[in-house]
């Protein structure tokens, strides 16, 4: 019986303690998070998004059809103007070039023979024959002249003179025949034919060299290769895209700004770019062109704004989707608070500040705002403002402050 009484006494004590703790907890002031009023420079901005485009760019396209044999570049590589990008198979063209060059060599040799008056062996044989006949003519002429003198002295007969004259005539005849044979080795038509063959062979060489040249796709400008998807063995047709190359140290961002915000955007305004793929990184630039017309974009009425962004490390590639903030107004040494601290009571903007451990309502005037903060008038630099809470608050409420 005494044990039962003891148990009941413990239970009653625990219940009383729980009730006391619950009452105390209910009467304890709620905890609120406060942010300090900060004096800083603030820039009002128009947030939007956009896509990166190159300012100066060019496309390399295939000049002839054929399979890709060698890949000489990669996406993201920096290339000089005229640098080789891709090489197509050119085996057939190289075989045609070798054959055409062989024909040129042969025709050139034929022309050299024509220039010399005939083939060397034929000319050599005819020259030897001519020398012998000229020698025989000289001997016959000398003998004939001697016999003429002797006949005048009646030391030689007329028959001997006649025979000597016949030998002179035969030698002269033979020399004329050999001269005619030498002249017949080359006729004008042969030269014309050889020259025509040379023109055909040289044209074949030029055509084969042009086909080989077109087998190598080259960079039309110096810059960064930002579009390139070819693999060895891929087949290209004439005109197919090989690579897109741009100068990416400065890029353009095309953004669409809603019509109500366009009045705040002007040429030369500062622009800040962020890219979700590279958290914490920013790129800066300016507005380059403002819209000339309003167009429908889905349910929105927008204007196309073009911005120029510095991209010194070529990290932003064309086609990248980025976040854009266009600065519209700037205030130096302004008092600012987090935008979420602003509340509205009966149409009037205000904040809850801390007076001791109690909330005090202060009316404020809003000025320019960035994405996260807003400039205010009506507060002091020493003030703190309450941030949103799931607990109901009102002026004069006692709170437990926690500072951000």
Task: For 116-146, write each residue's pLDDT tens digit.
Answer: 654 545 556 666 777 887 888 788 888 888 8
Across 151-165, average pLDDT: 81
Percent of the chain clearing pLDDT 90 (strictly above): 46
> Average of pLDDT values for 10-25?
55
**What does the block give as tokens for 191?**
């030269």
Q: In the prediction, which pLDDT does 164 show?
A: 80
Segment among 48-52, 101-105, 119-123, 346-350 with least mean pLDDT: 119-123
pLDDT-based confidence at 237, cuts 50/70/90? very high
pLDDT at 159 over 60: yes
User: In the predicted model, is pLDDT for residue 83 greater than 80?
Assistant: yes
Least confident among 187-196, 221-230, 264-273:
187-196
215 compared with 178, residue with greater pLDDT: 215
pLDDT at 21: 46
Kindly report the pTM of this predicted structure.
Answer: 0.55
Q: What is the pLDDT of residue 298?
A: 86
Chain centre distance of CA 327: 30
- Crossing angle of helices 120-152 and 158-184, rounded to 10°: 160
pLDDT, residue 385, reads 96
Q: Which two tokens mark 332?
A: 């130096």
3-state DSSP assignment of residue 337: strand
pLDDT at 117: 53
Q: Cβ atoms within 10 A of the Cβ of 398, count?
A: 12
264 secondary structure, DSSP code: G
Token code pair at residue 227? 């579009």
Number of Cβ atoms within 10 Å of the Cβ of 372: 10
Highest mean pLDDT among 113-127, 148-162, 253-267: 253-267
Of the pLDDT bands very low, low, confident and very high (cuts 50, 70, 90), residue 35 is very high
In this structure, the number of other CB atoms found within 10 A of the CB of residue 205 comes to: 19
Cβ–Cβ under 8 Å, residues 293 and 312:
no
CATH topology of domain 58-87+215-244: OB fold (Dihydrolipoamide Acetyltransferase, E2P) (2.40.50)
- Taking the C-alpha atoms of residue 83 and residue 216, their distance in angstroms, rounded to an integer, is 10
- CB count within 10 Å of CB 270 equals 16
Q: Mean of the pLDDT values across residues 136-159? A: 82
| pLDDT tens-digit readout, 344-362 | 988 899 999 999 999 999 9
The packing angle between helices 188-214 and 91-116, to 10°, is 160
Domain boundaries, the chain: 41-54+247-403, 58-87+215-244, 95-210
* CA nearest to 291, candidates 258, 320, 269: 258
Q: CA separation (Å) from 247 to 59, 233, 272, 277?
A: 12, 29, 20, 22
Q: How far apart are CA 92 and CA 237, in angstroms?
A: 17
- CATH code for the structural domain at 95-210: 1.20.120
CATH T-level assignment (fold) for domain 41-54+247-403: Elongation Factor Tu (Ef-tu); domain 3 (2.40.30)
Q: Does position 339 have pLDDT exceeding 90, yes or no? A: yes
Average confidence score pLDDT of the chain: 85
- Output b/e per residue, 11-36; b: 16+ Cβ within 10 A: eeeeeeeeeeeeeeeeeeeeebebbe
């Amino acid at each position: 019986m005494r044990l039962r009484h003891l148990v009941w006494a413990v239970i009653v004590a625990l219940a009383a303690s729980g009730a006391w703790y619950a009452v105390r907890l209910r009467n304890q002031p709620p905890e609120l998070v406060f942010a300090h009023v900060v004096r800083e420079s603030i820039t009002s901005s128009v947030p939007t998004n956009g896509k990166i485009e190159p300012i100066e760019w060019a496309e390399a396209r295939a000049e002839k059809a054929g399979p890709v044999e060698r890949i000489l570049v990669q996406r993201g590589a920096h290339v000089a103007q005229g640098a080789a990008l891709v090489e197509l198979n050119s085996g057939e063209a190289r075989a045609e070039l070798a054959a055409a060059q062989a024909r040129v060599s042969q025709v050139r040799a034929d022309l050299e023979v024509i220039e010399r008056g005939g083939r060397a062996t034929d000319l050599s044989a005819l020259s030897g024959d001519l020398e012998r006949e000229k020698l025989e003519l000289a001997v016959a002429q000398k003998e004939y002249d001697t016999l003429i003198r002797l006949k005048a002295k009646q030391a030689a007969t007329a028959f001997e003179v006649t025979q000597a004259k016949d030998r002179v005539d035969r030698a002269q005849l033979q020399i004329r025949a050999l001269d005619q044979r030498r002249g017949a080795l080359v006729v004008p038509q042969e030269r014309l034919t050889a020259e025509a063959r040379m023109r055909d062979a040289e044209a074949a060489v030029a055509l084969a060299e042009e086909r080989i040249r077109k087998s190598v796709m080259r960079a039309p400008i110096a810059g960064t290769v930002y579009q390139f998807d070819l693999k060895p063995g891929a087949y290209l047709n004439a005109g197919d895209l090989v690579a897109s190359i741009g100068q990416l140290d400065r890029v353009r961002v095309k953004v669409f700004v809603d019509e109500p915000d366009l009045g705040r955007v002007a040429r030369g305004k500062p622009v800040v770019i962020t890219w979700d793929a590279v958290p914490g990184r920013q790129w800066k630039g300016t507005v380059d062109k403002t819209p000339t017309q309003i167009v429908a974009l889905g349910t929105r009425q927008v204007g196309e704004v073009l911005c120029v962004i510095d991209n010194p490390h070529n990290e932003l590639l064309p086609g990248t989707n980025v976040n854009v903030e266009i600065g519209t107004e700037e205030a130096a040494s302004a008092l600012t608070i987090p935008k979420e601290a602003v509340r509205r009571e009966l149409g009037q903007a205000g904040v809850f500040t801390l007076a001791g451990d109690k909330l005090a309502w202060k009316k404020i005037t809003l000025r320019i705002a960035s994405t996260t903060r807003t400039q205010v008038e009506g507060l002091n630099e020493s003030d703190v403002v309450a941030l949103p809470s799931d607990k109901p608050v009102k002026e004069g409420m006692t709170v437990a402050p926690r500072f951000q």
